[in-house]
Amino acid sequence: MIDVILWDLDGTLLDFRASEKNAIRDTFRHFRLGELTDADIARYSEINFSWWTRMERGKVTKPQVLDGRFVDFFRLMGVAFSDLDAFNEYYQTRLGDAAVPFPGAFETVAEMKRRGKRQFLVTNGTAGVQRARLRICPLGELLDGAFISEDIGYEKPSPLFFEAVFRGLGPCDRRRVMIVGDSLSGDMKGGRDAGIVTCLYRPKGGAPHSPLVDHVIQDLSEVTALCETAGI
C-alpha cells in the first residue's frame, strides 16, 4: 500500500501547455513583437520542452534554459529582441496567473487526502511561478507541502533533490512512496534512483517501454486503485 504520493505539477496535475500558450502569446503582445499563431506556439512548446529535458539530463543549467529557449525561438521567428531578462520576467508573471488542472486532478487529490495519504508536490518549475499558481488553484490547499528545485538547489532527477525531499518527509518506508509524473528523464529516473514506486502519466497513451516505469496511467483517477496495490 502507498502511504505517500509525490506529485509532479506541470504536465501532471496542471495542464502546462494551456498556461504556456496564453503566457507566450500575451508576452509577445506586451513587447509588441507580433501575433503568434497556434503553429508558432506549438514550435515554441517543442523548443521549451527540449531545453527542460536537456536540463533533466544534466546537459544545461536552469538559467541556460530560461534564456536559451527564447534565443532559439526568436531566431526561428526572425525576431530581433535582446532584453531576455525583461521578457522572461513578464512571461513568468503570466505563467503564474493561470492554473488549469487536468481532468480528475482535484478529485483524485481530494480522495487521496480523504483516505489519509500524505501528498507533496515535487517540481522543477520556477519557484515564484509555482507558488503563485498554487495560491490560485484549489489543489494547493489539499497538498501537505511542496518541494521546489529552486528552493532545494538541485533539480529532478538529481539524487540530491530526492535526499532533500526525504529529509522533509521524515521517517518513511520508501517502498510505500510513489511519484506520479509525466517525465521519463525527470520524474521516473529520479524516482527509480531514489528507490520509490514510479507512475508515468500519459493521458494520450503511447507510453514507452522503460525499466524506469512501474505503472502507466492515462487517467489520474487510476492513482486511487494503485495506492492500494502498488507498493514494492
What angle, 0 to 180 degrees and rounded to 10, lies between the N-to-C axes of helices 62-77 and 84-96?
100
Number of folded domains in the chain? 2
Residue 174 DSSP symbol: G
CB 10 within 8 A of CB 146: no
Last-in-domain residue among 96, 121, 144: 96
Domain boundary among 46, 81, 96: 96
Which has more pLDDT, 85 or 230?
Answer: 85
CATH number of the domain where residue 9 is located: 3.40.50.1000
Predicted confidence (pLDDT) per residue in 53-101, tens digit:
999 999 999 999 999 999 999 999 999 999 999 999 999 999 888 888 9
Q: Which residues have a Cβ under 8 Å from the Cβ of 206 and sit 6 or more positions away?
A: none
Query: Which of 54, 72, 96 corresponds to the end of one domain?
Result: 96
In angstroms, what CA-CA distances link 188 with 68, 202, 208? 25, 12, 12
For residue 74, the enclosing domain spans: 16-96
pLDDT band at 230, cuts 50/70/90? low
| 27 and 86 fall within a common domain | yes
Q: Is the pLDDT of residue 231 over 60?
A: no
